[in-house]
A and B are shown apart, each in its own frame.
Chain A
Amino acid sequence: MTAQSPAVAAPRVRVEAVHKGFAGVPVLRGVSLTLAPASVLGLVGENGAGKSTMMNILGGHLRPDAGSIHVDGAVYRPRGASDARKAGMAFVHQELTLFANLTIAENLHLVRFPRRLGVWIDRTASRRLASEQLSRVGLRRGPDTPVEQLTSGERQLVEIARALTHDARVLILDEPTTSLGALERQRLHDLIRELRHDGLSIVYISHELGDVLRECDRIAVLRDGTVVAEGDAGGFSVRGLVRHMVGREVGQFYPAPRQAAVREPLLRVRGLCRGTRVGPTTLTVGVGEIVGVFGLMGAGRSELARLIFGLDKPSAGVVLLDGRALVGAPPGRIASGLAFVTEDRRLDGLCLEAPIAENLALASLRRLPRSLVGVLTGATIKRAARRIGSAVGLAEHVDLAAPVGRLSGGNQQKVVLGKWLLTRPRMLLLDEPTRGIDVGARAEIYQLLHRLADAGTGLLVLSSDLDELMGISDRILVMRHGELNGEFPSTAFDREQMLRAALPASVA
C-alpha cells in the first residue's frame, strides 16, 4: 500500500469502514478511525456501542467482516493476539490479568523468559530486564515481589509494563481506571503523558468523561457501531459527549429533586459495630426516603451494609425494620423485606453463566406460585422474569434465556435490581449501584430508584461517587474510618464540606 495522504503526518493506525457482526447482529457498522503517532485518542460510548469489539479487532482477538486497517501504512490483518503483538499492538484489558502467585518479573516474562542454554530461566537477566520495564512505567518495586502483594494500582502499572514488552507502537487501555484510587489514577495519567511523549499512540477507553477530556488529544464517540462524533478534545464538553453517546439531550441526568417530607422511620440502626472496621453506627431511614452514605474507599461502607444485611455478625448493636429487630442470617431478613444490591455484581450479584430469567427469579423462588402438582415451572419463572424485567427497563428484545454474563454492565445491574424487586422489599440497600455503568443506563437506574422511593420503599445508597449521591439522595451521611462523620440534608448539600468530612483527619 502507498501512503494516501502525504500532506498530513501519516497516521499510525487507519481504520476504514470496519464492519463486524455476531450471529447476524451487526455490532460495528462501518467504523473509521485514525490514530496519529504520539497522541492519545479517547474512545467513549455507552456499553454495547462497539468499543470493545473494535479494540478486540485491533488487538487481534477478533477479525473484521469487512473493512481494512493499516498500521504505519502497511495492511494490518492479524490472525491472533500474538500477530497483533508482533505488529506493535499492546492491549491492557479491562480486567486485570496478572498471576498473583508469580513474581513481577515472572509475570512480565511469562512467555519469553531469558534463558540459559535455552533450558532454564536466566533469573539475573530477567530481573535486570524487569527492573528496566518497571522504571519505564515508574513502579518502584523489586522485580521479585510477588504480585499478590501489590495494590491494584501497582498491578495496573505491571500490566502496562507487560504490554509494552514487545516493541509496542500502539497501546490500548480499556477502562484502566475503574479499580484505581485517586492517587493511582493520577500516576497512570502521568505515565500516559510520558508514553505519548516517547512517541507511543494510545487509545484510551473510559466512562470517566472528565478524564477523557483532560487526558486525550482527540476523542471519538461510538454509538450503535458507528463513529457519531470525532474531533479535538478541546472541542468537546462532558455534556456534549453525553449527548453524542446517548443520541439525545440528557438534560436532566439526575431525576428532579424530591419534596422534603416528614417520614415515618422504616429502618433503624442502633449502635451497630464490628471490631475496628465499623464503629458504633446509628442511623435511620424513613419510609420512602433515599439516604446516601458517602465515604472514600475503605471507609467501611460495604462493611456497614453487610452488617445490616446480616452477612457479618455485629459485635454489638441492633437493626430494626418497622420496629421489629432483625436477627440472624440474610434469608430471614429478606423475608422481612430487606434487600441488598452488592457492590460487585459479577462476583456476588449474579450467576453469570445462568440465564437472565433464573437470575431474576433467584431471590424469590419461595414466593413464586407453584403449579398444580406443587412444582415451580420454567414458565412461571419466565413470566415473573418478563414482568419484572420490563419494570426495571430491560429492553424487550433481550432474550431471557441467554446467560446474564453476556449483557452489558448496565443491563446486568438492572437484572440485579429486578432480582431484588421481585422479593418486594420495603428497604433496599445499594452498594455502588452504578459502578461501571454507562450514562444512559445510569439515568434509568436513578429514575427507577426515585420511583421506588415514591412508592414508599426506603433506600440506603452507599457510594464513593459524591455527585451521584447529591443527585439522588434526600439526605447524605458521611462515613470515615468506619464511623459516621456528618449528616447533610438536601438543603445543605455542600461538596466541599462533605468531602472534608470524608477525608482522613490529618489531610482535612
Chain B
Amino acid sequence: MSGPSLAGRDLSAPSGHGDRRFQPSLVDRRRRRARQLLRSLPLFAFAALVLGVDWHAGRFATTENAAQIASQAAPTVVVAVGMTFVMLTGGIDLSVGALMFVGAGLAGHLALSGAPFAAAAAVMVVVGLTGGLVNAVLVTRLGLIPFVATLATLYIGRGVGRWITETRAMNLPEDFLAFGAAAWLGIPAVVWVAALVAVAGQFGLSCTPFGRQLYALGSNADAARKAGVNTRRLTAAVYAVSGACAGLGGLLALSRLGSVSPRFGELYEFEAITAAVLGGASLYGGRGQVLPGTVVGAGLITTIFSALVTLQANPYLYPLITAVVIFAVVLIDTLYTRPSAG
C-alpha cells in the first residue's frame, strides 16, 4: 500500500459520495468480495443446471450432449463476441439477428444458383459487415442513440430479408450441411470457428491498443476524447465488428440448419446480449470480456434451452424462462454496477 494517510486508521470510507480518496476499508473489501462472487454466479448456475438436469432426466452430462450443445452455442458465441465489443462502449446492437437473416437470404439465393460454398459464406460476412457500417454511420455521423439506430436497422433488415426470400423457406444445397456436420479432431467445425473468433476477440480486447481504448471509451467517453482517443472511429469500428460477427454467426447457424426460414436469426440479439451480460459485460459500458465471460454466458443460455428440451418442458414456458433469465441478468448487472450508496 502507499504512503501514510490519515485514512489508515479511519473507520469510515463514507458511502455514496465524497471521500473516495481513502484506502479501501474493510467494508469496501467485503463488498468487492461479494461482487466477485456475483461475477462467478453464472458459472455456479451452469454447474448446478447441468448436474440437476442430469440427475433428473439422465444422459445430460455426457460428451455427446456437450458436443451437441457446443455446436448449438457456436453461432451465439460468435454473435455475442461482436455484441461484447459494442457493449464495452456502452452501446447495443439490436440488428444482429436481422443482419443474419439478410445474409442468409442472399447466400441462399447464391448457393441455389450454383455458387460455391465459399462465395456464399463470404457474402454473409460482407452483408453483416455492411449492415454494421450502416449502424456505425447512424451512430457516429448522425448521432443517433445506438438503441434506436440499431432498432431501425433491425426492421430494415427483417424487411429486406423477407423481400429477398419472398417469405418462403429455402432449402440449401448439401455443401452447407456438410460444413455444419464436419469435424476436426472430433470437434465440430462450427465450434472451431467460434473458438477462433472468441480467442481473436479476447486477444483484440486485452492485447491491442484498440481494445484497451474501448474500455477507456466505455468508462468515460469525454475523458477518452480529451486523452486523444479517436472515439468516433472506435465507435464505428465496434459496430462493424458486430456486423461482421453477425454475418459469420449467421453462416454457422445456417450450416447447422441447412435452410433459411422467414424467422431465421430472430431473437439472436437478445441471446447475444444475455450471453454478454451473463459473462460480466455491463450495459453501461466499460466492463466485460470475451473469454471466459461472454463464452460462458453463451454456453449457459444454450444449455438452459437444451435442458428444457431434455426435460420435455412445456414449449409455452420457453418465453417465460427467457424472461426470467434476462431479468436475472439485468439484475446482476445493476447490483454489480450500482454505486455503493447506502
Contacts and interface: CB of A to CB of B under 8 A. Distances in A.
A187 B213 CA distance: 30
Interface string A299-330: 11011001000011100000000000000000
Nearest to A103: B212
A504 B203 CA distance: 49
B24 interface: yes
B12 A99 contact: no
A113 B20 CA distance: 29
Nearest to A93: B226
A183 B228 contact: no
A306 B5 CA distance: 25
A277 B12 contact: yes
A225 B281 CA distance: 47
A234 interface: no
Interface in A98-133: 98-102, 106-107, 110-111, 113, 115, 119-121
Interface string B7-31: 1011111111111111110000000
Contacts of A390: none
A180 B7 CA distance: 12
Contact of A111 (B9, B17, B203, B228): B228
Contact of B14 (A139, A162, A179, A298): A298
B227 A97 contact: yes
A299 B227 CA distance: 35
Contacts, number: 139
A99 B212 CA distance: 10
Contacts of A102: 212, 215-216, 219
Nearest to A122: B207
A93 B223 CA distance: 10
B103 to A, nearest CB: 28
B319 interface: no
B17 A344 contact: yes
B11 A276 contact: yes
A149 to B, nearest CB: 7
Interface string A464-508: 000000000000000001100000000000000000000010100
B204 to A, nearest CB: 9
A301 to B, nearest CB: 9
Nearest to B228: A111
A179 B21 contact: yes
Interface residues of A, number: 58
B63 interface: no
Contacts of A99: 215-216, 219-220, 223-224, 286
Interface in B203-236: 203, 207-209, 212-213, 215-216, 218-220, 223-224, 226-229
A110 B342 contact: no
A409 B35 CA distance: 36
Interface string A75-114: 0000001100100000001000111111000110011010
A120 B204 CA distance: 8
B4 A151 contact: no
Contacts of A139: 2
Given A140-B2, A154-B2, A276 B287 contact: no
Contact of A141 (B2, B13, B215): B2
A240 to B, nearest CB: 32
Given A97-B226, A298-B6, A344 B12 contact: no
Contacts of B212: 102, 106, 110, 113, 121
Contact of A101 (B2, B4, B287): B287
Nearest to A431: B18
Contacts of A113: 209, 212
A482 B9 CA distance: 13
B209 A115 contact: yes
Contact of A181 (B5, B15, B24, B218): B5
A297 B12 CA distance: 9
B10 A298 contact: yes
A277 to B, nearest CB: 4
A110 B208 contact: no
B287 A111 contact: no
Given A102-B216, A481-B11, A504-B9, A297 B21 contact: yes
B14 A111 contact: no
Interface string A362-373: 000000000000
Contact of A82 (B11, B215, B228): B228
Contacts of B6: 181-183, 296-298, 504
Contacts of B24: 149
Contacts of A298: 6-7, 10, 12-14, 19, 22
A44 to B, nearest CB: 24
12 contacts: A81-B226, A106-B212, A121-B207, A121-B209, A151-B21, A152-B21, A180-B21, A184-B5, A187-B3, A343-B17, A344-B18, A482-B12
Given A99-B215, A277-B12, 4 more contacts: A110-B213, A121-B212, A151-B22, A342-B17
Interface of A: 81-82, 85, 93, 97-102, 106-107, 110-111, 113, 115, 119-121, 139-141, 149-154, 162, 179-184, 187, 276-277, 296-300, 302-303, 306, 311-313, 342-344, 347-348, 481-482, 504, 506
